Amino acid sequence: MKRLVILISGRGSNMEAIVEAAAAEHWAAQVVAVVSDRPDAAGLAWAAARGIRAVVVDRSQHAVRADFDRALLLAVQALQPDLVVLAGFMRILGEPFVRAFEGRLLNIHPSLLPAFPGLHTHRRALEAGCTVAGATVHFVTPALDHGPIVIQAAVPVLPGDTEATLAARVLAREHQIYPLAVRWWVEGMLSIEGLRVRHRDGAPQFLIA
Ligand code: GRF
């Protein structure tokens, strides 16, 4: 059984999608803990209600960023994860954390990277007049929202879209591609070659809807 640890900061809908897929599809993996940098993250209660260990490393208790990073690294290492999954974790991780889990650290970002790293991706996509938007699951490297891409989902930008309607359309696809990407990792299907991620059986690493 692979040990998965999921890091969240808020709602945790991607975490839910992963937990549910792991159970429904009988993965050889278990979400052993959910870790939040905010004690009020809604996803913590959902995890605890499912009997999943909920851990808080409170960012407000660490004035210095490096101290928070160290505390988070220790807390996550103590959980002995095989894979660390960032799911709406709204904190930039320090290099020691990223290096500690190299090749075992996934993130989802609500844009078609390398477009729109950082915050407010949907607003920026609308402002830029994009006709296509989407989400990306990638391995994490020390650069923000950058790293070898595992899978991307594309959705249309429709006339009259607002940030909220576009975010909802993208989120529905996030809930499909993130569990799939984690499952691929668990099954040993992924290899990283430079900035490229290859699926051993050549499964399509995109979803276009
Ligand atoms: C998602 O859109 C994710 O891509 C982004 O933050 C949001 C988190 O949503 N990084 P949730 O907490 O998984 O519901």
DSSP secondary structure letters along 70-132:
HHHHHHHHHT--SEEEESS--SPPPHHHHHHTTTSEEEEESS-TTSS-SS-HHHHHHHTT-SE
Same fold, 1-101 and 108-209: yes
pLDDT of residue 28: 98
Whole-prediction pTM value? 0.98
DSSP state of 59: G
Angle 123-126-130 from CA coordinates, rounded to 5°: 135
Where does residue 158 rank: exposed (0-12), middle (13-18), buried (19+ CB within 10 A)? exposed
Higher pLDDT, 145 or 8: 8
- 1-101: CATH topology: Rossmann fold (3.40.50)
DSSP state of 9: S
User: Which atom of ligand 1 is found nearest the CA of 171?
Assistant: 2
Which of 7, 14, 123, 173 to probe ligand 1 with, by most ligand atoms within 8 A of CB?
Answer: 14
CA of 109 to the centre of ligand 1 (A): 8
Q: Are 5 and 85 in contact (CB under 8 A)?
A: yes
For 20-29, write each residue's pLDDT tens digit: 999 999 999 9
Average pLDDT value for residue range 40-58: 98
For 141-194, write each residue's pLDDT tens digit: 988 788 999 999 999 999 999 999 999 999 999 999 999 999 999 999 999 999
| b/e per residue 46-67 (b: at least 16 CB within 10 A) | bbeeeebebbbbebeebeeeee
Output the six-digit token pair for 105.
């650290």
**Domain 108-209 classified CATH 3.40.1350.10?**
no
Output the six-digit token pair for 67.
């101290």
The structural domains of the chain, with segments of one domain joined by +, span 1-101, 108-209
The answer, yes or no, to whether any atom of ligand 1 lies below 6 A from the CB of 134, is no
For 86-136, write each residue's pLDDT tens digit: 999 999 999 999 999 999 999 999 999 999 999 999 999 999 999 999 999
Catalytic residue among 26, 62, 109, 120: 109
Residue 30 clears pLDDT 90, i.e. is over it: yes
Comparing CA positions, the residue from 161, 129, 150 lying closest to residue 195 is: 150
Residue 7 clears pLDDT 90, i.e. is over it: yes
